[in-house]
Amino acid sequence: MLSKTDKNATLFIVVALGLFFIGGLLTTVLPPLLDKSWSKPFENNDPSKGPTGKLVQYTPLQQKGYEIYIREGCKYCHTQQTRTLLSDVTSKGAGSGWKGVDAPVSTPDEFVYDYRQTFGTKRTGPDLSRVGGKYNRQWHKAHFNNPRDLVPGSIMPPFPWIANNPDELDALVAYLQTRGRAKNWRPDNDYEQ
């Protein structure tokens, strides 16, 4: 029957497209319908199978803070990715580590619940992927109110509408305090609240 396609170009194209379509269905549409585990994030505890890490859902308050972080465009100045580079993990200079402890490298589990990515591309300010627990709420409040009060010469803009709105401040600080916390990477457990 297919020999007819040898002589008829239109028929050849129609049959070829039909077969291509069936192939597409079999390889891309059918597998996720049969195996639902594909779409669920899962925790990997076996380093030989890839990056390990703990999945932690946002609480409603942290989720609200995440949305404020996106709304205010923090990611235009801050990245959230500790890469494998020494200059990223170090606690000296502009690395993500702090108070003498180097930071762990970012892994996929940290981003599975983000529906808009916050990786960022530009480090006008420092990377924030490990800032959870580095400062307390009071510090963040003063810093959002006017960064230059705490860090002379800072070019971070003030965000008084957050600093003076307890609901938004609580949410944003709760979100910032989650950054890197699931990694529990401080040997002395010296996280600020």
Q: Look at the block and give the residue holding tokens 């319908």.
A: 33
Of 53 and 75, CB closest to ligand HEC: 75
Of 109 and 168, CB closest to ligand HEC: 168
AA identity, residue 69: Y
The nearest distance, CB 160 to ligand HEC, in angstroms, is 11
Q: How far apart are CA 85 and CA 96, in angstroms?
A: 11
CA 14 and chain centroid, separation: 45
The nearest distance, CB 132 to ligand HEC, in angstroms, is 10
The nearest distance, CB 17 to ligand HEC, in angstroms, is 50
Query: Which region, left, alpha or beta, applies to residue 189 given φ > 0 means left and ψ of -120 to 50 means alpha?
Result: left
Q: Look at the block and give the residue holding tokens 């079999």.
A: 26
The nearest distance, CB 162 to ligand HEC, in angstroms, is 6
**Footprint of ligand HEC (CB under 6 A):** 69, 72-74, 76-78, 124-126, 128, 131, 134, 147, 151, 154-157, 159, 172, 176
Q: Look at the block and give the residue holding tokens 């890469």.
A: 83
Q: Where are the beta strands (DSSP E) in the chain?
A: none
Q: Which residues pair with 101 in a beta bridge?
A: 98
CB 148 within 8 A of CB 166: no
Of 156 and 174, CB closest to ligand HEC: 156
The nearest distance, CB 82 to ligand HEC, in angstroms, is 12
Of 47 and 100, CB closest to ligand HEC: 100
Of 112 and 158, CB closest to ligand HEC: 158
